[in-house]
Structure 1
């Protein structure tokens, strides 16, 4: 991240933190409004005027006020004005920063309202369903034959009646947003949101792959072992893959622990073939 963007993001986060803390559970609503603002800016030719380094900072702040005063909470307008006054390395960085602040605000509001764990589990359940159902996954991914809003409507039909409004807002963001990663899309976005929610609760998510389902006792033991090693509470994302033959593979962030028979055989083949 270049200096201009990094500095402006840090200033925005610092200014927003006490506002969000004072808002309490209302942070969920403010977060939804921030994501609405980000979507409006991204959908219209507004990124350039709001981030143009050749325009006076106060002119950009005044433009932000004209665009959104009366449409969203005054606190969100003030946040956007402060961000417009800053310097951005790329216009798209403004959208990315708004996305992060919006998601964090929804999750912080849920934590203040005592529902963060529920929101995390709801988004996690959607993530599991999308990962397990190839047809749903493909239907939600960007494609020439469908518009973004058509995919959003599909997600709402599939999930809105089964999860809370804040969780659905996050799922809609996951469908709309295209991450800047080589392999991303909706599953990547859903995982990102669940990891942020887990981190707010001093917890990490561990992907666990075994050949057969773990018993409840085995899950408890594995969770305790990982918690001692990592220093965090651990939530297990269990997957069964008969091809691993035996053993267990655990992935937490960038850490991979692989004691599967398949991995051992692959290592043996490598050693033999040199």
Structure 2
């Protein structure tokens, strides 16, 4: 991350953290407003004028006020005013920072009122449904055939009646925001953040055949000791791994499978 963006992010977080802490459970509402504001800034687009290095910080802060005062909670408007006064190397960095702050606010507010586990479960279940329904998954993936708003409307139709407002706000962001891995990767990021607030780490475990209860217990104990947090195993079966186990924790992968060993051997022979 470039120096200007990094410094502004740090200053923003320092100013926003006590505000979010004092907001308690209302952080969920603030987070939803931040994500909606980020979408409006990106869609119109307003990120250029709000980050223009040729304009004074106060001029950009005044623009933020004209755009959102009276429409959003004043704490959210003040957050944007402070960010507009900062320096951003790329306009898109402002929107990215707002996305992070919005997600964190929703989860922090849910943590304050004891519902973060419910939101984690809702978002995880949405991810599972998308993963199991190929037609739905393809319809929600970024494509030239559909607009982002069409995909968001589809997500609203499928999940809106079943999810809480904070969880649905996160699902909309996951569908709208382009990222490698599509909506499911974004959903997983949200689930991981929710788990971290509860001092848990999620480990995806893939084996060729189901593990026994004793094997799961040993693996759980090993990972808990190594990571220093409570660990939740998300197990799945893939006969293609042949034998052994593949473990993915965030972006880190531990691969002790026969398929991996064979691939390594082939690479060595080819080299």
Give TM-score, length-normalised by structure 2. Answer: 0.94
Partner of 1:212: 209
SS in 2 for 1:259: strand
Aligned partners of 2:267 and 2:4: how far apart in 1? Answer: 47
Distance 2:251 2:27 in 1: 31
Distance 1:84 1:272, change over 3 A: closer
- With over 3 angstroms needed to count, the CA separation of the structure-2 counterparts of 1:2 and 1:273, relative to structure 1, is closer
In the alignment, which of 190, 197, 202 is matched to residue 199 of structure 2? 202
**Cα RMSD, aligned residues only:** 1.6
Q: Which 10-residue stretch deviates more, 204-213 or 30-39?
A: 204-213
| Superposition pairs of residues 20-39 of structure 1, within 5 angstroms | 20-39=20-39
- Distance in 2 (CA, whole Å) between partners of 1:12 and 1:239 is 40
The answer to whether the aligner puts 1:231 opposite 2:228 as a matched pair is: yes
What secondary structure sits across from 1:172 in the alignment? helix
Q: CA deviation at 1:235?
A: 1.6
CA–CA separation in structure 2 for the residues paired with 1:10 and 1:268: 45
* TM-score of the pair, normalised by structure 1: 0.93
Shift of 1:257: 2.3
Matches within 5 A, 1:54-73: 54-73=54-73
For these two proteins, the number of residue pairs brought into alignment is: 271
Per-residue deviation at 1:61? 0.6
Q: CA deviation at 1:64?
A: 0.4
Q: 1: CA distance between counterparts of 2:84 and 2:109?
A: 24
Cα distance in structure 1, aligned partners of 2:165 and 2:64: 27
Q: Which residue of 1 aligns with 2:108?
A: 108
In the other structure, the counterpart of 1:146 is 146
Q: Distance between the aligned counterparts of 1:153 and 1:174, measured in 2? A: 13
Structure 2: which 5+ runs fail to align? Answer: none
Report deviation, 1:265: 3.5
Superposition deviation, residue 141 in structure 1: 1.1
Measure how far apart 1:135 and its partner are: 1.6
Rounded to whole Å, the distance in 2 between the matches of 1:218 and 1:87 is 52
Show the 5 A alignment for 1:240-251.
240-251=237-248
How far did 1:217 drift? 4.3
1:186 and 1:15 mapped to 2: Cα distance?
Answer: 30
In structure 2, what is the equivalent of residue 136 of structure 1? 136
**Aligned position for 1:53:** 53
Runs of 5+ unmatched residues, structure 1: none
Shift of 1:77: 0.6
Helix, strand or coil at the partner of 1:77? helix
Q: What displacement does 1:270 show?
A: 4.8
Change (3 A) 1:71 1:243: same
How far has the Cα of 1:216 moved from its partner? 4.2
User: Following the alignment from structure 1 to structure 2, what is the Cα–Cα distance between the partners of residues 216 and 126?
Assistant: 27
Q: Which residue of 2 aligns with 1:88?
A: 88
Which residue number corresponds to residue 44 of structure 2?
Answer: 44
Q: Measure the CA separation in 1 of the matches of 2:164 and 2:217.
A: 29
SS, match of residue 114 in structure 2: coil
